[in-house]
Amino acid sequence: MKKTLSKAPVAIVTGAGGGIGQTIARRLAEEQWFVVVNDINEVDANKTLEAITHSGHTAMVHTGDVGNTDDVASLFSAVEENNNRTPKLLINNAAVQTWASIDELAVEDWQKTINTNLTGCFTMTKNFAKTAPQGSSIINIGSGCNHLAFPTLIDYSASKGGIEMLTKSSALELGPRGIRVNCIAPGAIATNRTAQETDSYSDTWSALTPLRRIGTPDDVANAVLLLIDDKASFITGQTINVDGGLFSRAIWPADY
């Protein structure tokens, strides 16, 4: 593998083949990070790479499953070999979900979701922390499911709730090493995936959101850029909701 000559700080973005992950990867590249695009789908990962390089920035692709410990080890080895330095930023974004009730949810689907979303987040964090320098940052991408139970999303809700506590525990342990760990919990966000949930996704969720619109992947990427800024250097162990106020509203017997 040819080594890059870039001296930019290195960021790893998992699940960067599309949606929120792709936008985060692109925005980080625009901010002069050397981005490692990780996704289980090589075609999607290369589309993100093409978008980054087309705009004049540098990046690399490493495909693999974050739920597979061998793939994770291979990813970090490849990053080190390609850059001659360790990554300074990790975005744990890769996730899957299953729409099924508890009666219908297969154990295999449960295990796949927990393995990808939660175990993958843990394994990536563990490997990153081994060599991350002082001033490094980890951002886990959570969900409204961090706080609230979503119907027919048993596996996804459990994994995202776990990510919130993993964020806090990781921040507690890694803080003395100068590594910050935070979580971003998006609300209703316009992506290709959410558009497939219903034809009226935007209208339905905009009406429920206090700001009366749904979010965009750029809204989430903006929060990432805020959290990695030096001005946020004393923020760790926190979950930042990027939801337009959606999940701040309690069930109430009257309109307000």
Domains of the chain: 10-188+215-245 (3.40.50.720)
Query: Which position has the token pair 């080890």?
Result: 73
Query: Which position has the token pair 């760790």?
Result: 236
Residue 107 contacts residue 29 (beta carbons within 8 Å): no
Query: Which position has the token pair 């796949």?
Result: 112
Residue 213 contacts residue 207 (beta carbons within 8 Å): no
Alpha-carbon radius of gyration of the chain: 18
pLDDT-derived band at 253, boundaries 50, 70, 90: confident
Q: Which of 25, 43, 149 is nearest to 90 (CA)?
A: 25
pTM over 0.85: yes
What is the per-residue pLDDT across 164-183, written as a single tens digit (0 to 9) for each? Answer: 999 999 999 999 999 999 99
pLDDT-derived band at 245, boundaries 50, 70, 90: very high
Which helix H or strand E contains 141, and what residues bound it?
Answer: strand 137-141
Mutual angle of helices 154-174 and 120-131, in 10-degree steps = 20
DSSP H helical ranges for 101-233? 107-113, 120-131, 154-174, 192-195, 201-208, 217-228
- Edge-to-edge strands of the sheet including 10-13? 59-63, 34-39, 10-13, 89-92, 137-141, 180-186, 239-242
What are the C-alpha distances in Å from 198 to residues 40, 61, 106, 150, 191?
Answer: 26, 32, 24, 16, 12
Catalytic residue among 33, 34, 156, 205: 156
- For the question of residue 156 being annotated catalytic, the response is yes
Which helix H or strand E contains 30, and what residues bound it?
Answer: helix 19-30
Two tokens at 62?
């490493």
Is the model's pLDDT at 238 over the cut of 80?
A: yes
| 215 phi and psi angles, rounded to 5 deg | -85, 175
Is the model's pLDDT at 4 over the cut of 80?
A: no
Helix (H, G, I), strand (E, B) or coil at 95: coil
What is the per-residue pLDDT across 13-35, written as a single tens digit (0 to 9) for each? Answer: 999 999 999 999 999 999 999 99
pLDDT-above-90 percentage for the chain: 78
